[in-house]
Amino acid sequence: MENVTIFDSPGKGRGLKTNKEFWAGDVIFSEPSLAAVVFDSLAERICHSCFRRQDKLQRCGQCKFSHYCDRTCQRAGWAEHKQECAAIKNYGKAPNENIRLVARIMWRLDKDGGVVSDTQLTTLDQLEDHIEDMAEDELKEFKVDIHNFLDYWPRNSKQHTSDVISHIFGLINCNGFTVSDQRGLQAVGVGLFPNLCLVNHDCWPNCTVILNHGNQSAVNTLYHSQQRIELRSLGKIAEGEELTVSYVDFINVSAERQRLLKTQYFFDCTCHHCKERIKDDLKMGGREEDNVKPSEEQVKESTEYCLQMLEKMDQARLKGDYHELVKICKECIEKTEPVLADTHIYLLRMWSTMSEVQAYLQYFEDAAEYARKMVDGYMKLYHPNNPTLGMAAMRAGVTHWQAGLIEVGHGMICKAYAILMVTHGPTHPITKDLESMRVQTEMELRMFKQNEYVYHSMREAALKNRPMTMMHEPKSMEEGIKNLFHRRK
Ligand SMILES: [Zn+2]
Ligand SMILES: [Zn+2]
Ligand SMILES: [Zn+2]
Protein backbone atom coordinates (compact mmCIF):
# COMPACT_ATOMS: atom_id res chain seq x y z
CA MET A 1 0.00 0.00 0.00
CA GLU A 2 2.75 2.43 -0.91
CA ASN A 3 0.23 4.53 -2.89
CA VAL A 4 -1.83 5.84 0.06
CA THR A 5 -1.51 7.07 3.65
CA ILE A 6 -4.09 7.34 6.43
CA PHE A 7 -4.53 10.91 7.65
CA ASP A 8 -6.94 13.06 9.67
CA SER A 9 -9.32 14.64 7.18
CA PRO A 10 -10.68 17.93 8.57
CA GLY A 11 -14.27 17.43 9.72
CA LYS A 12 -14.45 13.86 8.42
CA GLY A 13 -12.31 11.78 10.77
CA ARG A 14 -9.82 9.39 9.24
CA GLY A 15 -9.32 9.38 5.49
CA LEU A 16 -6.86 8.34 2.80
CA LYS A 17 -4.57 10.58 0.80
CA THR A 18 -2.24 9.83 -2.09
CA ASN A 19 1.53 9.47 -1.92
CA LYS A 20 1.96 10.26 -5.59
CA GLU A 21 0.16 11.62 -8.64
CA PHE A 22 -2.52 9.58 -10.42
CA TRP A 23 -4.25 9.80 -13.79
CA ALA A 24 -7.66 8.75 -15.09
CA GLY A 25 -8.06 4.97 -14.98
CA ASP A 26 -5.15 4.27 -12.61
CA VAL A 27 -5.83 1.60 -10.00
CA ILE A 28 -4.91 3.24 -6.70
CA PHE A 29 -5.39 0.04 -4.77
CA SER A 30 -7.10 -3.28 -5.12
CA GLU A 31 -8.39 -5.13 -2.08
CA PRO A 32 -9.78 -8.61 -1.40
CA SER A 33 -12.92 -8.94 0.71
CA LEU A 34 -12.47 -9.87 4.33
CA ALA A 35 -15.76 -11.75 4.01
CA ALA A 36 -18.80 -11.67 1.74
CA VAL A 37 -22.20 -13.39 1.50
CA VAL A 38 -24.91 -13.83 -1.15
CA PHE A 39 -28.26 -12.11 -0.42
CA ASP A 40 -30.98 -14.32 1.12
CA SER A 41 -33.22 -13.70 -1.89
CA LEU A 42 -30.61 -14.97 -4.37
CA ALA A 43 -29.17 -17.84 -2.32
CA GLU A 44 -30.20 -20.40 -4.93
CA ARG A 45 -29.31 -18.41 -8.02
CA ILE A 46 -25.83 -17.03 -7.32
CA CYS A 47 -22.70 -19.11 -6.69
CA HIS A 48 -21.65 -18.66 -3.03
CA SER A 49 -17.99 -18.87 -4.03
CA CYS A 50 -17.49 -16.81 -7.20
CA PHE A 51 -20.75 -14.74 -6.98
CA ARG A 52 -21.57 -15.39 -10.62
CA ARG A 53 -25.16 -15.82 -11.75
CA GLN A 54 -25.72 -19.30 -13.19
CA ASP A 55 -28.76 -21.15 -14.48
CA LYS A 56 -27.86 -24.42 -12.81
CA LEU A 57 -26.13 -24.51 -9.47
CA GLN A 58 -25.19 -27.45 -7.27
CA ARG A 59 -26.29 -27.46 -3.67
CA CYS A 60 -24.01 -28.23 -0.73
CA GLY A 61 -25.01 -31.73 0.32
CA GLN A 62 -24.39 -30.98 4.00
CA CYS A 63 -26.27 -27.78 4.80
CA LYS A 64 -28.42 -27.78 1.62
CA PHE A 65 -28.14 -23.98 1.66
CA SER A 66 -24.97 -22.95 -0.16
CA HIS A 67 -24.97 -23.24 -3.95
CA TYR A 68 -22.00 -23.49 -6.32
CA CYS A 69 -21.24 -23.53 -10.04
CA ASP A 70 -19.36 -26.82 -9.71
CA ARG A 71 -16.94 -28.79 -7.54
CA THR A 72 -14.13 -26.35 -8.25
CA CYS A 73 -16.11 -23.40 -6.86
CA GLN A 74 -17.25 -25.49 -3.92
CA ARG A 75 -13.65 -26.40 -3.08
CA ALA A 76 -12.51 -22.79 -3.46
CA GLY A 77 -15.28 -21.66 -1.09
CA TRP A 78 -14.82 -24.37 1.49
CA ALA A 79 -12.39 -22.46 3.75
CA GLU A 80 -15.09 -19.83 4.20
CA HIS A 81 -18.01 -22.22 4.33
CA LYS A 82 -16.68 -25.02 6.53
CA GLN A 83 -17.71 -23.62 9.91
CA GLU A 84 -20.79 -21.94 8.45
CA CYS A 85 -21.91 -25.28 7.00
CA ALA A 86 -21.83 -26.99 10.40
CA ALA A 87 -23.50 -23.99 12.08
CA ILE A 88 -26.39 -23.93 9.59
CA LYS A 89 -26.95 -27.66 10.06
CA ASN A 90 -27.01 -27.24 13.83
CA TYR A 91 -29.24 -24.16 13.76
CA GLY A 92 -31.67 -25.96 11.46
CA LYS A 93 -31.78 -23.19 8.84
CA ALA A 94 -29.66 -20.43 7.39
CA PRO A 95 -29.93 -17.13 9.29
CA ASN A 96 -30.31 -13.85 7.39
CA GLU A 97 -27.52 -12.27 5.34
CA ASN A 98 -26.40 -9.84 8.07
CA ILE A 99 -25.94 -12.64 10.57
CA ARG A 100 -24.20 -14.84 8.02
CA LEU A 101 -21.80 -12.00 7.13
CA VAL A 102 -20.96 -11.17 10.75
CA ALA A 103 -20.32 -14.86 11.47
CA ARG A 104 -18.03 -15.18 8.44
CA ILE A 105 -16.12 -12.07 9.58
CA MET A 106 -15.71 -13.49 13.10
CA TRP A 107 -14.47 -16.87 11.88
CA ARG A 108 -12.01 -15.11 9.59
CA LEU A 109 -10.68 -12.91 12.40
CA ASP A 110 -10.43 -15.88 14.77
CA LYS A 111 -8.40 -17.74 12.18
CA ASP A 112 -6.17 -14.96 10.81
CA GLY A 113 -6.14 -12.32 13.57
CA GLY A 114 -7.16 -8.64 13.32
CA VAL A 115 -5.18 -8.03 10.13
CA VAL A 116 -5.89 -10.72 7.57
CA SER A 117 -3.73 -9.50 4.68
CA ASP A 118 -0.48 -7.54 4.50
CA THR A 119 -2.17 -4.73 2.57
CA GLN A 120 -4.87 -4.13 5.20
CA LEU A 121 -4.44 -0.61 6.61
CA THR A 122 -6.83 -0.74 9.55
CA THR A 123 -8.20 -3.24 12.04
CA LEU A 124 -11.95 -3.50 12.33
CA ASP A 125 -12.08 -2.16 15.89
CA GLN A 126 -10.61 1.14 14.61
CA LEU A 127 -13.57 1.63 12.24
CA GLU A 128 -16.74 3.42 13.31
CA ASP A 129 -19.96 1.50 13.92
CA HIS A 130 -22.38 4.47 14.40
CA ILE A 131 -24.57 2.46 16.77
CA GLU A 132 -25.27 5.61 18.80
CA ASP A 133 -26.68 7.34 15.71
CA MET A 134 -29.22 4.63 14.92
CA ALA A 135 -32.92 5.39 14.99
CA GLU A 136 -35.06 3.50 17.48
CA ASP A 137 -36.75 1.10 15.05
CA GLU A 138 -33.41 0.39 13.42
CA LEU A 139 -31.90 -0.37 16.78
CA LYS A 140 -34.74 -2.79 17.53
CA GLU A 141 -34.04 -4.89 14.43
CA PHE A 142 -30.37 -4.64 15.19
CA LYS A 143 -30.94 -6.23 18.60
CA VAL A 144 -33.04 -9.03 17.10
CA ASP A 145 -30.17 -9.83 14.72
CA ILE A 146 -27.68 -9.95 17.59
CA HIS A 147 -29.99 -12.19 19.58
CA ASN A 148 -30.35 -14.61 16.66
CA PHE A 149 -26.63 -14.45 16.02
CA LEU A 150 -25.94 -15.71 19.54
CA ASP A 151 -28.24 -18.70 18.92
CA TYR A 152 -26.52 -19.42 15.61
CA TRP A 153 -22.91 -19.00 16.80
CA PRO A 154 -21.54 -22.47 17.68
CA ARG A 155 -20.54 -23.30 21.26
CA ASN A 156 -17.23 -24.70 20.04
CA SER A 157 -16.26 -21.49 18.16
CA LYS A 158 -14.41 -18.77 20.06
CA GLN A 159 -16.83 -16.79 22.26
CA HIS A 160 -16.92 -12.97 22.09
CA THR A 161 -18.37 -10.22 24.26
CA SER A 162 -21.60 -8.61 23.11
CA ASP A 163 -19.72 -5.33 22.59
CA VAL A 164 -17.46 -6.95 20.01
CA ILE A 165 -20.40 -8.59 18.27
CA SER A 166 -22.52 -5.44 18.10
CA HIS A 167 -19.53 -3.45 16.82
CA ILE A 168 -19.23 -5.78 13.82
CA PHE A 169 -23.00 -5.58 13.21
CA GLY A 170 -22.78 -1.77 13.33
CA LEU A 171 -19.84 -1.83 10.98
CA ILE A 172 -21.55 -3.82 8.24
CA ASN A 173 -24.64 -1.65 8.65
CA CYS A 174 -22.81 1.45 7.40
CA ASN A 175 -19.84 -0.12 5.59
CA GLY A 176 -21.15 -3.32 4.01
CA PHE A 177 -20.23 -2.96 0.36
CA THR A 178 -22.74 -4.01 -2.33
CA VAL A 179 -21.30 -6.93 -4.29
CA SER A 180 -22.53 -7.17 -7.88
CA ASP A 181 -22.69 -10.03 -10.36
CA GLN A 182 -19.89 -10.47 -12.87
CA ARG A 183 -21.30 -7.88 -15.29
CA GLY A 184 -21.96 -5.32 -12.60
CA LEU A 185 -25.65 -5.12 -13.52
CA GLN A 186 -27.25 -6.54 -10.42
CA ALA A 187 -26.55 -6.36 -6.68
CA VAL A 188 -26.19 -9.95 -5.49
CA GLY A 189 -24.54 -9.79 -2.09
CA VAL A 190 -22.71 -7.83 0.55
CA GLY A 191 -19.09 -7.88 1.69
CA LEU A 192 -16.61 -6.08 3.92
CA PHE A 193 -13.50 -4.35 2.52
CA PRO A 194 -11.63 -2.65 5.40
CA ASN A 195 -9.45 -0.26 3.35
CA LEU A 196 -12.43 0.93 1.35
CA CYS A 197 -14.12 1.91 4.65
CA LEU A 198 -11.37 4.54 5.04
CA VAL A 199 -12.25 6.33 1.79
CA ASN A 200 -14.49 9.29 2.60
CA HIS A 201 -17.46 10.51 0.59
CA ASP A 202 -17.71 13.43 -1.80
CA CYS A 203 -20.69 14.01 -4.11
CA TRP A 204 -18.21 14.88 -6.89
CA PRO A 205 -15.49 12.34 -6.08
CA ASN A 206 -12.06 11.79 -7.63
CA CYS A 207 -12.34 7.99 -7.53
CA THR A 208 -14.77 5.20 -8.23
CA VAL A 209 -14.84 1.71 -6.81
CA ILE A 210 -15.55 -1.33 -8.92
CA LEU A 211 -15.83 -5.01 -8.16
CA ASN A 212 -13.80 -7.10 -10.58
CA HIS A 213 -14.40 -10.84 -10.53
CA GLY A 214 -11.50 -11.29 -12.93
CA ASN A 215 -11.41 -14.48 -14.94
CA GLN A 216 -12.82 -17.60 -13.41
CA SER A 217 -9.70 -19.76 -13.42
CA ALA A 218 -7.73 -17.10 -11.54
CA VAL A 219 -10.44 -16.92 -8.87
CA ASN A 220 -10.49 -20.66 -8.43
CA THR A 221 -6.80 -21.08 -7.82
CA LEU A 222 -7.02 -18.84 -4.77
CA TYR A 223 -7.32 -20.52 -1.43
CA HIS A 224 -9.95 -18.00 -0.40
CA SER A 225 -12.63 -17.38 -2.98
CA GLN A 226 -12.48 -13.68 -2.23
CA GLN A 227 -14.12 -10.90 -4.16
CA ARG A 228 -11.85 -8.03 -5.15
CA ILE A 229 -12.55 -4.32 -5.43
CA GLU A 230 -10.45 -1.74 -7.24
CA LEU A 231 -10.27 1.92 -6.33
CA ARG A 232 -9.81 3.69 -9.68
CA SER A 233 -8.94 7.30 -10.38
CA LEU A 234 -11.51 9.31 -12.39
CA GLY A 235 -9.05 12.01 -13.46
CA LYS A 236 -5.81 13.63 -12.39
CA ILE A 237 -5.20 13.43 -8.63
CA ALA A 238 -2.29 15.36 -7.16
CA GLU A 239 0.14 13.96 -4.60
CA GLY A 240 -1.22 14.51 -1.07
CA GLU A 241 -4.84 14.97 -2.23
CA GLU A 242 -7.61 13.18 -0.32
CA LEU A 243 -9.20 10.22 -2.10
CA THR A 244 -12.99 10.23 -2.25
CA VAL A 245 -15.81 8.11 -3.64
CA SER A 246 -19.52 8.89 -3.81
CA TYR A 247 -21.82 6.85 -1.62
CA VAL A 248 -24.93 8.13 -3.46
CA ASP A 249 -25.98 8.88 -7.03
CA PHE A 250 -25.21 12.46 -8.11
CA ILE A 251 -28.48 12.54 -10.08
CA ASN A 252 -30.26 13.50 -6.83
CA VAL A 253 -30.46 17.20 -5.92
CA SER A 254 -28.15 18.32 -3.11
CA ALA A 255 -30.83 18.38 -0.39
CA GLU A 256 -31.87 14.81 -1.26
CA ARG A 257 -28.26 13.61 -1.30
CA GLN A 258 -27.68 15.22 2.08
CA ARG A 259 -30.82 13.58 3.45
CA LEU A 260 -29.76 10.12 2.16
CA LEU A 261 -26.25 10.51 3.53
CA LYS A 262 -27.55 11.63 6.92
CA THR A 263 -30.06 8.79 7.34
CA GLN A 264 -27.90 6.03 5.85
CA TYR A 265 -24.36 7.03 6.76
CA PHE A 266 -24.93 9.45 9.65
CA PHE A 267 -23.06 12.54 8.48
CA ASP A 268 -23.86 15.99 7.07
CA CYS A 269 -22.32 16.38 3.63
CA THR A 270 -20.54 19.71 3.32
CA CYS A 271 -18.83 18.94 0.00
CA HIS A 272 -18.37 21.74 -2.52
CA HIS A 273 -21.22 20.49 -4.74
CA CYS A 274 -23.66 20.39 -1.80
CA LYS A 275 -22.62 23.74 -0.36
CA GLU A 276 -22.95 25.52 -3.71
CA ARG A 277 -25.98 23.40 -4.77
CA ILE A 278 -24.19 22.83 -8.07
CA LYS A 279 -26.48 21.69 -10.94
CA ASP A 280 -29.60 21.67 -8.72
CA ASP A 281 -31.07 24.29 -11.07
CA LEU A 282 -30.58 21.99 -14.09
CA LYS A 283 -32.09 19.00 -12.28
CA MET A 284 -35.28 20.81 -11.30
CA GLY A 285 -35.41 23.53 -13.93
CA GLY A 286 -37.73 24.58 -16.74
CA ARG A 287 -37.11 24.45 -20.48
CA GLU A 288 -35.74 27.65 -21.93
CA GLU A 289 -36.54 28.29 -25.57
CA ASP A 290 -35.76 31.53 -27.44
CA ASN A 291 -35.12 33.15 -24.07
CA VAL A 292 -38.64 32.29 -22.92
CA LYS A 293 -38.86 30.38 -19.67
CA PRO A 294 -41.94 28.74 -18.16
CA SER A 295 -43.07 30.23 -14.86
CA GLU A 296 -41.95 28.72 -11.57
CA GLU A 297 -45.53 27.70 -10.97
CA GLN A 298 -45.67 25.77 -14.27
CA VAL A 299 -42.41 23.94 -13.53
CA LYS A 300 -43.64 23.03 -10.06
CA GLU A 301 -46.93 21.75 -11.43
CA SER A 302 -45.21 19.58 -14.07
CA THR A 303 -42.72 18.27 -11.51
CA GLU A 304 -45.53 17.18 -9.20
CA TYR A 305 -47.43 15.62 -12.07
CA CYS A 306 -44.33 13.57 -13.03
CA LEU A 307 -43.98 12.36 -9.47
CA GLN A 308 -47.57 11.11 -9.44
CA MET A 309 -47.13 9.38 -12.79
CA LEU A 310 -43.88 7.73 -11.68
CA GLU A 311 -45.82 6.12 -8.85
CA LYS A 312 -48.47 4.88 -11.27
CA MET A 313 -45.74 3.53 -13.53
CA ASP A 314 -44.22 1.60 -10.65
CA GLN A 315 -47.57 -0.05 -10.05
CA ALA A 316 -47.91 -1.02 -13.71
CA ARG A 317 -44.35 -2.36 -13.68
CA LEU A 318 -45.08 -4.50 -10.62
CA LYS A 319 -48.10 -5.99 -12.40
CA GLY A 320 -45.93 -6.67 -15.44
CA ASP A 321 -48.30 -4.53 -17.54
CA TYR A 322 -45.70 -2.92 -19.77
CA HIS A 323 -48.17 -1.59 -22.34
CA GLU A 324 -49.98 0.29 -19.59
CA LEU A 325 -46.64 1.55 -18.34
CA VAL A 326 -45.74 2.86 -21.80
CA LYS A 327 -49.13 4.55 -22.12
CA ILE A 328 -48.81 6.44 -18.81
CA CYS A 329 -45.20 7.34 -19.49
CA LYS A 330 -45.86 8.60 -23.03
CA GLU A 331 -48.73 10.79 -21.87
CA CYS A 332 -46.63 12.23 -19.11
CA ILE A 333 -43.72 12.98 -21.44
CA GLU A 334 -46.01 14.70 -23.95
CA LYS A 335 -47.45 16.86 -21.24
CA THR A 336 -44.28 17.82 -19.38
CA GLU A 337 -41.58 17.89 -22.08
CA PRO A 338 -42.50 21.40 -23.27
CA VAL A 339 -42.18 22.75 -19.72
CA LEU A 340 -39.28 20.88 -18.11
CA ALA A 341 -35.56 21.24 -18.87
CA ASP A 342 -33.93 18.38 -20.78
CA THR A 343 -31.88 17.80 -17.62
CA HIS A 344 -34.89 17.64 -15.29
CA ILE A 345 -34.37 14.45 -13.30
CA TYR A 346 -37.99 13.25 -13.49
CA LEU A 347 -38.04 13.73 -17.23
CA LEU A 348 -34.76 11.82 -17.41
CA ARG A 349 -36.35 9.03 -15.44
CA MET A 350 -39.30 8.97 -17.84
CA TRP A 351 -36.99 8.77 -20.87
CA SER A 352 -34.88 6.09 -19.21
CA THR A 353 -37.96 3.99 -18.43
CA MET A 354 -39.32 4.43 -21.94
CA SER A 355 -36.08 3.37 -23.58
CA GLU A 356 -35.78 0.36 -21.33
CA VAL A 357 -39.36 -0.84 -21.76
CA GLN A 358 -39.61 -0.11 -25.48
CA ALA A 359 -36.38 -2.04 -26.09
CA TYR A 360 -37.84 -4.93 -24.13
CA LEU A 361 -41.00 -4.76 -26.23
CA GLN A 362 -38.73 -4.58 -29.31
CA TYR A 363 -39.76 -1.09 -30.45
CA PHE A 364 -36.12 -0.31 -31.03
CA GLU A 365 -36.43 2.99 -32.88
CA ASP A 366 -38.62 4.47 -30.18
CA ALA A 367 -36.29 3.09 -27.53
CA ALA A 368 -33.27 4.61 -29.27
CA GLU A 369 -34.77 8.09 -29.39
CA TYR A 370 -35.49 8.12 -25.66
CA ALA A 371 -32.11 6.60 -24.83
CA ARG A 372 -30.38 9.39 -26.74
CA LYS A 373 -32.28 12.08 -24.84
CA MET A 374 -31.39 10.36 -21.59
CA VAL A 375 -27.66 10.24 -22.40
CA ASP A 376 -27.65 13.88 -23.59
CA GLY A 377 -29.18 14.90 -20.26
CA TYR A 378 -26.79 12.74 -18.23
CA MET A 379 -23.82 14.27 -20.03
CA LYS A 380 -24.81 17.71 -18.75
CA LEU A 381 -25.15 16.46 -15.17
CA TYR A 382 -22.55 13.79 -14.49
CA HIS A 383 -18.77 13.89 -14.25
CA PRO A 384 -17.43 12.93 -17.73
CA ASN A 385 -16.06 9.67 -16.31
CA ASN A 386 -19.03 8.74 -14.14
CA PRO A 387 -19.72 4.97 -14.35
CA THR A 388 -23.52 5.50 -14.49
CA LEU A 389 -23.03 7.73 -17.53
CA GLY A 390 -20.85 5.02 -19.10
CA MET A 391 -23.48 2.34 -18.54
CA ALA A 392 -26.23 4.61 -19.90
CA ALA A 393 -24.17 5.32 -23.03
CA MET A 394 -23.68 1.59 -23.49
CA ARG A 395 -27.39 0.93 -23.22
CA ALA A 396 -28.15 3.75 -25.66
CA GLY A 397 -25.49 2.47 -28.06
CA VAL A 398 -26.91 -1.04 -28.08
CA THR A 399 -30.44 0.29 -28.57
CA HIS A 400 -29.37 2.37 -31.58
CA TRP A 401 -27.54 -0.62 -32.99
CA GLN A 402 -30.67 -2.73 -32.57
CA ALA A 403 -32.69 -0.03 -34.31
CA GLY A 404 -30.28 -0.13 -37.26
CA LEU A 405 -28.98 3.37 -36.48
CA ILE A 406 -25.43 2.18 -36.83
CA GLU A 407 -23.64 5.53 -36.99
CA VAL A 408 -25.01 6.89 -33.72
CA GLY A 409 -24.89 3.41 -32.20
CA HIS A 410 -21.21 2.97 -32.94
CA GLY A 411 -20.43 6.46 -31.65
CA MET A 412 -22.19 5.80 -28.35
CA ILE A 413 -20.55 2.41 -27.91
CA CYS A 414 -17.15 4.10 -28.42
CA LYS A 415 -18.07 6.73 -25.87
CA ALA A 416 -19.16 4.08 -23.36
CA TYR A 417 -15.98 2.12 -24.02
CA ALA A 418 -13.81 5.16 -23.28
CA ILE A 419 -15.59 5.77 -19.95
CA LEU A 420 -15.55 2.13 -18.86
CA MET A 421 -11.83 1.82 -19.66
CA VAL A 422 -11.42 4.38 -16.84
CA THR A 423 -14.10 3.22 -14.40
CA HIS A 424 -14.01 -0.56 -14.92
CA GLY A 425 -10.65 -1.17 -16.57
CA PRO A 426 -9.73 -3.29 -19.60
CA THR A 427 -10.13 -6.70 -17.88
CA HIS A 428 -13.67 -6.22 -16.57
CA PRO A 429 -16.21 -8.48 -18.36
CA ILE A 430 -18.43 -5.54 -19.32
CA THR A 431 -15.49 -3.67 -20.87
CA LYS A 432 -14.66 -6.80 -22.83
CA ASP A 433 -18.29 -6.98 -24.01
CA LEU A 434 -18.01 -3.37 -25.12
CA GLU A 435 -14.74 -4.01 -26.91
CA SER A 436 -16.29 -6.74 -29.05
CA MET A 437 -19.36 -4.57 -29.71
CA ARG A 438 -17.05 -1.75 -30.76
CA VAL A 439 -15.29 -4.01 -33.27
CA GLN A 440 -18.58 -5.43 -34.55
CA THR A 441 -20.28 -2.04 -34.99
CA GLU A 442 -17.19 -0.63 -36.67
CA MET A 443 -17.33 -3.41 -39.22
CA GLU A 444 -21.05 -2.91 -39.75
CA LEU A 445 -20.55 0.83 -40.10
CA ARG A 446 -18.02 0.26 -42.86
CA MET A 447 -20.45 -2.07 -44.58
CA PHE A 448 -23.22 0.50 -44.19
CA LYS A 449 -21.13 3.22 -45.80
CA GLN A 450 -20.34 0.97 -48.77
CA ASN A 451 -23.83 -0.29 -49.41
CA GLU A 452 -26.82 0.65 -47.29
CA TYR A 453 -29.21 -1.86 -48.82
CA VAL A 454 -26.90 -4.86 -48.31
CA TYR A 455 -26.23 -3.69 -44.76
CA HIS A 456 -29.92 -3.56 -43.83
CA SER A 457 -30.76 -6.97 -45.25
CA MET A 458 -27.77 -8.53 -43.50
CA ARG A 459 -28.66 -6.88 -40.24
CA GLU A 460 -32.19 -8.21 -40.34
CA ALA A 461 -30.92 -11.73 -40.91
CA ALA A 462 -28.47 -11.34 -38.06
CA LEU A 463 -31.17 -10.11 -35.68
CA LYS A 464 -33.31 -13.14 -36.48
CA ASN A 465 -30.49 -15.60 -35.88
CA ARG A 466 -29.00 -14.08 -32.80
CA PRO A 467 -31.47 -12.52 -30.41
CA MET A 468 -29.73 -9.77 -28.50
CA THR A 469 -28.83 -10.88 -25.03
CA MET A 470 -28.45 -7.40 -23.60
CA MET A 471 -32.06 -6.70 -22.76
CA HIS A 472 -33.43 -8.27 -19.64
CA GLU A 473 -37.01 -8.01 -18.57
CA PRO A 474 -37.24 -4.47 -17.21
CA LYS A 475 -38.37 -5.42 -13.72
CA SER A 476 -35.41 -7.71 -13.21
CA MET A 477 -32.82 -5.25 -14.41
CA GLU A 478 -31.53 -2.70 -11.99
CA GLU A 479 -30.09 0.40 -13.49
CA GLY A 480 -26.61 -0.10 -12.26
CA ILE A 481 -26.01 -0.25 -8.57
CA LYS A 482 -27.42 2.86 -6.98
CA ASN A 483 -25.93 2.50 -3.54
CA LEU A 484 -22.28 1.89 -2.95
CA PHE A 485 -22.90 0.40 0.45
CA HIS A 486 -25.63 -2.10 1.07
CA ARG A 487 -28.28 -1.22 3.64
CA ARG A 488 -29.52 -3.92 5.92
CA LYS A 489 -33.22 -4.61 5.65
ZN1 LIG B 1 -18.91 -20.30 -8.96
ZN1 LIG C 1 -22.80 -26.50 3.39
ZN1 LIG D 1 -22.21 16.49 -0.99
| pLDDT (0 to 100) of residue 460 | 77
Sort strands 200-201 and 244-245 into parallel, antiparallel or unpaired.
parallel
Average pLDDT for the chain? 90
Q: What is the mean pLDDT of residues 234-243?
A: 98
| Ligand 2 centroid – CA 101 distance (Å) | 15
Fold exhibited by the domain 4-246? Beta-clip-like (2.170.270)
pLDDT tens digit sequence for 411-431: 999 999 999 999 999 999 899
| Ligand 1 centroid – CA 48 distance (Å) | 7
| pLDDT (0 to 100) of residue 413 | 97
| pLDDT (0 to 100) of residue 94 | 97
The DSSP element (H or E) to which 128 belongs, if any, is none
107 — pLDDT class (breaks 50, 70, 90): very high
474 — pLDDT class (breaks 50, 70, 90): very low
Which ligand is closest to the CA of 257, given by its number?
3
Q: What is the mean pLDDT of residues 308-327?
A: 92
| Ligand 1 centroid – CA 84 distance (Å) | 18
| Ligand 3 centroid – CA 276 distance (Å) | 9
pLDDT at 219 over 50: no
Which ligand is closest to the CA of 82, given by its number?
2
Which ligand is closest to the CA of 57, given by its number?
1
| Ligand 1 centroid – CA 78 distance (Å) | 12
| Ligand 1 centroid – CA 109 distance (Å) | 24
The CA–CA distances, whole Å, from 457 to 341, 392, 404, 444, 454 equal 39, 28, 11, 12, 5
Residue 236 Cα to chain centre, angstroms: 23
pLDDT tens digit sequence for 160-194: 999 999 999 999 998 999 998 888 888 999 999 99
| Ligand 2 centroid – CA 103 distance (Å) | 14
| Ligand 1 centroid – CA 284 distance (Å) | 44
| Ligand 1 centroid – CA 30 distance (Å) | 21
pLDDT at 470 over 70: no
| pLDDT (0 to 100) of residue 115 | 84
The conformation of residue 185, written as its DSSP 8-state character, comes to S
pLDDT tens digit sequence for 367-413: 999 999 999 999 999 999 999 999 999 999 999 998 989 999 999 99
476 — pLDDT class (breaks 50, 70, 90): very low
Collect residues with CB below 5 Å from ion ligand 3: 203, 269, 271, 274
Which ligand is closest to the CA of 269, given by its number?
3
pLDDT tens digit sequence for 429-466: 899 999 999 999 999 999 899 988 888 887 777 767 65
| Ligand 1 centroid – CA 77 distance (Å) | 9
Neighbouring C-beta atoms of residue 340, cutoff 10 Å: 26
**Cβ within 8 Å of residue 172, ≥6 positions away:** 98, 101, 102, 105, 190, 192, 488
Q: Is the dihedral of CA 438, 443, 446, 447 positive or negative?
A: negative
Of all residues in the chain, the percent with pLDDT exceeding 70 is 92
Neighbouring C-beta atoms of residue 442, cutoff 10 Å: 14
| Ligand 2 centroid – CA 96 distance (Å) | 15
Residue 59 Cα to chain centre, angstroms: 27
CB of 387 within 8 A of CB of 423? yes
| Ligand 2 centroid – CA 153 distance (Å) | 15
**Across-strand partners of 4?**
18
| Ligand 2 centroid – CA 89 distance (Å) | 8
| pLDDT (0 to 100) of residue 185 | 81
Of all residues in the chain, the percent with pLDDT exceeding 90 is 76
| pLDDT (0 to 100) of residue 217 | 47
The class that CATH gives domain 279-476 is mainly alpha
pLDDT tens digit sequence for 149-161: 999 999 999 999 9
Q: What is the mean pLDDT of residues 286-315?
A: 94
| Ligand 1 centroid – CA 485 distance (Å) | 23
| Ligand 1 centroid – CA 38 distance (Å) | 12
pLDDT tens digit sequence for 33-72: 999 999 999 999 999 999 998 889 999 999 999 999 999 9
| Ligand 1 centroid – CA 230 distance (Å) | 20
Which ligand is closest to the CA of 201, given by its number?
3
| Ligand 2 centroid – CA 63 distance (Å) | 4
477 — pLDDT class (breaks 50, 70, 90): very low
CA-CA distance, 165 to 168, in Å (whole number)? 5
Q: What is the mean pLDDT of residues 217-233?
A: 68
Q: Where are the domains of the chain?
A: 4-246, 279-476
CA-CA distance, 167 to 126, in Å (whole number)? 10
